[in-house]
Structure 1
Amino acid sequence: MTPAARVQAAIELLDAIVDAAQREGAPADRLIADYFRQRRYAGSKDRRAVRELVYRAIRVCSEVPQSGRAAMGALGVEDEAILQLFDGSNHGPAPIGNGEIFAEPGIAPAWLVEQMAASGIEGEELTALMDRAPLDLRVNALKSDRAEIDLPIEGSHIASFQGLRFPAGTAVEQWPAYRDGMIEVQDLGSQLACQASGTKPGETVIDLCAGAGGKTLGLAAQMRSEGRLIACDIDRRRLSKLGPRAERAGAGLIETLLLNPGKELDMLGDLAGQADCVMVDAPCSGTGTWRRKPEAKWRLTPERLSRFSAAQDNLLDIAAKLTKPGGRIAYVTCSLLDAEGKDRIAAFLRRNPGWNPLEPGLSLGRIHGAGIRLTPYHDGTDGFFIAILGSSC
């Protein structure tokens, strides 16, 4: 592909990403993968270059742009070499017209920037969310140990029990250790969330929003495959990915349970009051993951934020009914908005006077309300809010 053709490909992808953001469609990484699956002629360098252009353009735009061309033009204002490729050449973008308007530059939509500032995320804290994230691994303690594992590249130790950090883009999926389930890709913040839960061998643990099971596998490793670990979700497609991952990791204790929305307690009835720990890795806005998924800033609306908050309250109430006396809830969101973190825990504690916040026992993070906050700027992690709640009755 010529440089101009790469820019045009990025514009086409941005069109698809903008459309998906407006109708809650597929995420950017899936759209990019599908795009190149249909264009086998594009080599690895072309795919990398186009992907980089797409994410650079997303990061530079504040509001949802009118088109992929408007987004790429906004990037071109910062990088004039890109504007020069709007030359009308074969497979390249058409020349820029008189009075053509590009997308507005900025970190995020204005209403969302205000919400972030009200939650204490502004200045360097906010701009750090537009950086590229490193690649973090968790060494699977069921099969190996961070001090002993032999990898093609030496990673740096990070502040989790089994974490290693590598440069962004390291092709770990091609390593034998990945194929054999000795390592998992997992951000440091997610690893610390598992650690904060305090799960240990022999416990009964419920992962209420397991998704594809990243944290479930981390919990299984902490439990040394001793006890009972039930991974639940309402999304069949995501939950179906956990079985093969668990087998590869040697995590035989994991049970999966597909839940019907609104009937979670009915389906978990035999576990009511039985869990030592319930992990609530709640669905959220993902404002803490913009380093990896910058298009998430375009997918959020005030209405969606309200729906997330209501769902988080519901999940916390379900978790309370599943937890035994003296048990605990680990509440986690990859959001930096108080509406999904500090405020949700404060509301839960008002509704449930028999519960109290517990010390998460982490070496990173700063106290925020009744929990702690991790941020890219201060902690080098994705953005997280983590609260550990203990039942006294």
Structure 2
Amino acid sequence: MTPVARISAAIEVLDDVFSRRRPVADALKDWGLAHRFAGSKDRRAIGDLVFDALRHRASAAWAAGGEDGRAVMLGLMRTHRGLDVAGIERQISGERFAPEPLSAEERAALAEDRLAAAPDPVRGDYPEWLADELGRVLGETTVAEMRAMAEVAPLDLRVNTLKCDADRAARELASELGRQPERPALAPLCLRLPVEPERGEPHIASTESFLKGHIEIQDLGSQLAAEFAGARPGMQVLDICAGGGGKTLAMAAAMGNHGQIFAYDSDRRRLAPIHDRLARAGIRNVQVRAPKPNTDVLDDLEHRMDLVLVDAPCTGTGTWRRNPDAKWRIRPGSLAERIKDQVAVLDQAARYVRPGGRLAYITCSLLPSENGDQIAAFLDRHPGFSVVDPASVVAAYEAEAMVVLGEAVTLLPQGLMMTPLRSGTDGFFVSVMTLRS
């Protein structure tokens, strides 16, 4: 396909996403099935255009003075791909397979600096109805943080210390991929592969390093969140929303296979990947407990756990770098449902914490209603719990990892927050609480 044909295809996919309010992955898959002549490079290029357009949907649409796929693509080229009107006209020429030439109205809109007077949600590319929520926690940095959230995320890997050390894993990856991974200063066990659009994202799951269990794919923020929870050798730990096991695996490595982790999820289908992952990582101290009808499979753990980890269901507003279409599909109703889920799982988790034990609550969200507000409400319902000083949580990690986080995390009254702008991670909130002895 020619470059202009790829632009036409991207516009077609965007119109499908906008009109049917469907996940972009489904729209791209359906387009590929209907256009089997398109090769893998074409599909990847079209996907890159579509994802970039969704990252910057609000600002691109505003710049072009429209809301459909064509307007968003034109605005993307003008505001985020550095093309002036003449440059866009060379792309939008009306030749075979190319989009129609610019209209007089489009040309006039693209010639203006429309974003200079745009409202904050447009300049920051986030939903207007979340402006107050985000402003409560991000304040004057909201637009800058949301712009960082609209950038492409790097690929982060966690070194599995049960099988490998970071230096060796870095050498293995450099040899296998022909790319030298970066070593973020915030976490000694993180290897980062920056974005290289011309090469695409490497298929880590097919590398020897991955197949041998030396590395796992996990965002740096998720790695830090698991560390902040404070799992240590010999502990009894319950991961009550274990899902595919990302934080279970991280805690098992931190515990050196000593002690016991119980991995549970209310939906047994989410647990499906965990068994293979545990085996590949060489983990021996995890017991997976799947739900059973009419049976409380966690009944024997009540008041016995040194640590209960709640990786809570949430809106995922902190993951918009990786799921840019999700920020335009989120609605107030879905936020309300997640808040109800969080209340339920926090109340359930409290049952299993022993006196003197810890309860760690984690979300990949930046919204106060899912974070600090939830903790404040939980403490009202469970007065025996109190928040561990977030500064001491950070200090304990810094002492163990021999790093300095500095201003990379934001300390809040009920916990701490990581963001793309400050931390170089996805957005995460972590609160560690303890139960009075």
TM-score range, shorter chain: 0.7 to 0.9
Q: Which moved more, 1:218-227 or 1:327-336?
A: 218-227
Which of the pair has more CA radius of gyration? 2
What amino acid does structure 2 have at the position aligned with 1:378? R
* Partner Cα distance (1:93, 1:367) in 2: 49
Residue 112 and residue 356 in structure 1: after superposition, are their counterparts in 2 closer, same or farther (change >3 A)?
same
> In structure 1, what is the equivalent of residue 156 of structure 2?
136
* Partner Cα distance (2:312, 2:267) in 1: 13
* Partner Cα distance (1:116, 1:83) in 2: 37
CA shift, 1:108, in A, is 1.3
> In structure 1, what is the equivalent of residue 2 of structure 2?
2
CA shift, 1:70, in A, is 4.1
* Partner Cα distance (1:51, 1:154) in 2: 26
Q: Which of 387, 393, 400 is the equivalent residue of 1:360?
A: 393
CA deviations 1:122-151 (Å, max 9, x no partner) are: 132232111222221110111101133332
> In structure 1, what is the equivalent of residue 113 of structure 2?
none
Partner secondary structure for residue 294 of structure 1: coil
CA shift, 1:343, in A, is 0.9
Residue 119 and residue 33 in structure 1: after superposition, are their counterparts in 2 closer, same or farther (change >3 A)?
same
Kindly indicate whether residue 424 of structure 2 is the aligned counterpart of residue 383 of structure 1.
no
* Partner Cα distance (1:272, 1:38) in 2: 54
Q: Which of 127, 130, 138 is the equivalent residue of 1:112?
A: 130
What amino acid does structure 1 have at the position aligned with 2:12? E
Residue 31 and residue 203 in structure 1: after superposition, are their counterparts in 2 closer, same or farther (change >3 A)?
farther
Partner secondary structure for residue 393 of structure 2: coil
CA shift, 1:372, in A, is 0.6
Q: Which of 365, 376, 385 is the equivalent residue of 1:346?
A: 376
Residue 57 and residue 264 in structure 1: after superposition, are their counterparts in 2 closer, same or farther (change >3 A)?
farther
Partner secondary structure for residue 9 of structure 2: helix
Partner secondary structure for residue 365 of structure 2: coil
Q: Which of 213, 219, 229 is the equivalent residue of 1:187?
A: 219
CA shift, 1:199, in A, is 0.8
Kindly indicate whether residue 41 of structure 2 is the aligned counterpart of residue 45 of structure 1.
yes
Q: Which of 341, 348, 361 is the equivalent residue of 1:318?
A: 348
Q: Contact 1:137/1:165 (CA < 8 Å) preserved in 2?
A: yes
> In structure 2, what is the equivalent of residue 295 of structure 1?
325
> In structure 1, what is the equivalent of residue 365 of structure 2?
335
What amino acid does structure 1 have at the position aligned with 2:4? A
Partner secondary structure for residue 133 of structure 2: helix
Partner secondary structure for residue 349 of structure 2: helix
CA deviations 1:282-310 (Å, max 9, x no partner) are: 11111212222222211211221122112
Residue 128 and residue 351 in structure 1: after superposition, are their counterparts in 2 closer, same or farther (change >3 A)?
same
CA deviations 1:95-139 (Å, max 9, x no partner) are: 55676799x954112111232112225132232111222221110
Unaligned runs of 5+ in 1: none
**Number of residues of Structure 1 aligned to a counterpart in Structure 2:** 387
Q: Contact 2:415/2:432 (CA < 8 Å) preserved in 1?
A: yes
What amino acid does structure 2 have at the position aligned with 1:156? E
Q: Which moved more, 1:154-163 or 1:271-280?
A: 154-163
Alpha-carbon RMSD across the aligned residues, in angstroms, is: 2.9
What amino acid does structure 2 have at the position aligned with 1:145? D
Partner secondary structure for residue 321 of structure 2: coil
Q: Which of 160, 171, 187 is the equivalent residue of 2:187?
A: 160
CA shift, 1:386, in A, is 0.5
CA shift, 1:193, in A, is 0.8
Residue 208 and residue 31 in structure 1: after superposition, are their counterparts in 2 closer, same or farther (change >3 A)?
farther
